[in-house]
Amino acid sequence: MPFENQLETLETKIERVQAMGGADKVQRQHARGRYTARERIDRLLDPDTFFEVGRFAHSDMPGLADKTPADSKITGYGKINNRRVAVSANDFTVMAATTSRIAGRKEGELKQYAARKKIPMIYLGEAGGARMPDIMGSKGLASFGGGSFDSYLKIMSRIRQSPMVTAILGECYGMPTWMACLSDFVVQVKGSSMGVSGPRVLEMALGQTVTDEELGGFKVHSEITGNVDRVAQNEDHCFDIIRQYLSYLPSHSSQLPPIFPVPDGSGEKMEQILDFLPQKRSRTYDMHTLLLCIVDTQSLFAIKPEFGKSVITALARINGKSVGIVANQPSFLAGAMDTDGIDKVTSFLCQCDTYNIPLVFFHDTPGFLVGKEAEKNRVAARVMNYMNALGQISVPKISVIIRKSYGMAFWNMSGSGCATDFLVAWPTAEMSFVDPAIAANVVHGSTEADPDQKQKLIRSMVEDASPFGAAGLFHIHDVIDPRHTRKYITDALEIAGDTDRNGIGEHRLANWPTKF
């Protein structure tokens, strides 16, 4: 056969690359209950669709070429649900997937090419930080990050155009953390960790002793920092979540989200929706029960469900079309939005506006959570950042007042004067500056001697908070039968989407930071 020697050389090199860090390190990876980088790619992508680039890349440090197959980063293209994606997987079996000059350039080129070709980018993280001694010294430091005078900025910054997803699958320090903070969506597997520097570096540099879990485990990032959007039980669950998330988004901001068939049973619970709303105005309930009646069956997909829990942010479908939902959650803090919730919503608004996803707001809130701690957390600045983001949105906004909507939170939930396409209320709605009970105390004093008079005043204020007052002066568009909410939203979104841009937004929030 012609060129037999060259073909044998090729096969030998392919076998070496496919072996990654060697059988012992692969076995060690499996013993920790984790897939290898190549197994992760196979399980994430549609079968037989991976198109690898840079497989013969290796470290440029003397003596390390044979020890760094693919230079610890496996990169290429494939398909998810028959849609093209770019994927970069850290190979922890090769030098703990630390980042070298060549590895960094591979990832950077993939990220930039995917952006140019309007392809979603998926980063599968399990890696240490920068590789030493590669980055040491002036030549090492200055040459890290692509090699040209603007390459590092291109790698480490982003204007959102195509979706970017990061999975935290093991110990992720340095580069995987940076990529997560640039991403639209982050999934963390239980047992993994994420941080700027790992426990070993912290102990040597600062004398701090901390475990991976304490430093950056899933509870830290899903409940405290908000840097993780969903938590997965294991890696297979993680890949399912990624596939599900991408199904709500277009491949690029110049496109509309995909439309799905409406599942059987969608909307069937609308006739019973009022059964889930307590008749007593002071009783709490779970807003999810109402949302599940309104959206398509099994389409409600929560974003940051354990962070800022007094407000729900979720992707869903109504009549087969993607929507972004912002809904107060009365079962937590009575629906009063705290500073975590504010950051959560602001981030979500940016994402929906970037990817042409209409927004639907559901009000039931006594206002923002205020007080000494809130002021220390810069609540006023955060409220206005949120309002400023709301003002930049160019996708349709529909707002439904379910029950309470008081104070500044009324406007932040896309109330009157906020360029809301359609603002409506249920007849159960209450709209006012503050809760009537609080107002009565302000007017009559908290030690008012006549409790009957105070209760009479409260009843009067509750009646005055009826949405018909606002509807009568055309400050809201309508008061609707709660059972007609799904149809109203469907019709309203169809009208709001009929523009000369055909539903494509202006993307004024595409470079707004979404991590906090």
Q: Residue 195 has what pLDDT?
A: 93
Q: Is 226 left (phi over 0), alpha (psi -120 to 50) or beta?
A: left
Q: What angle do CA 248, 169, 118 make, to 5 degrees?
A: 40
- Reported as a single tens digit per residue, the pLDDT across 304-330 is 999 999 999 999 999 999 999 999 999
The confidence band for 205, taking pLDDT boundaries of 50, 70 and 90, is low
Q: Report the share of the chain in percent with pLDDT over 70.
A: 96
The model's pTM: 0.93
Mean per-residue pLDDT, 283-292 = 97
The confidence band for 22, taking pLDDT boundaries of 50, 70 and 90, is very high
Q: Residue 482 has what pLDDT?
A: 98
Domains of the chain, first to last: 4-246 (3.90.226.10), 270-429+466-496 (3.90.226.10), 435-465 (no CATH)
513, amino acid identity: P
Matching residue, tokens 């409220």: 383
- Reported as a single tens digit per residue, the pLDDT across 110-129 is 999 999 999 999 999 999 88
Matching residue, tokens 């609308």: 270
Report CA Rg, the chain: 26
- Reported as a single tens digit per residue, the pLDDT across 437-458 is 665 565 656 555 577 776 777 7
* CA pseudo-torsion sign 44, 50, 56, 60: negative
**Paired tokens of 108:** 């950077």
pLDDT greater than 90 at residue 357 = yes
Under 8 Å between Cβ of 57 and 81: no
Q: Residue 173 has what pLDDT?
A: 92
Q: Which one of 148-162, 215-229, 488-502 scores highest in mean pLDDT? A: 215-229
pLDDT greater than 80 at residue 382 = yes
- C-alpha closest to that of 393 among 280, 508, 227: 508
**Paired tokens of 13:** 């090199």
Stronger pLDDT, 199 or 47, i.e. the higher one: 47
**Paired tokens of 243:** 């596939």
* Interatomic CA distance for residues 406 and 365, integer angstroms: 7
**Paired tokens of 56:** 């013969």
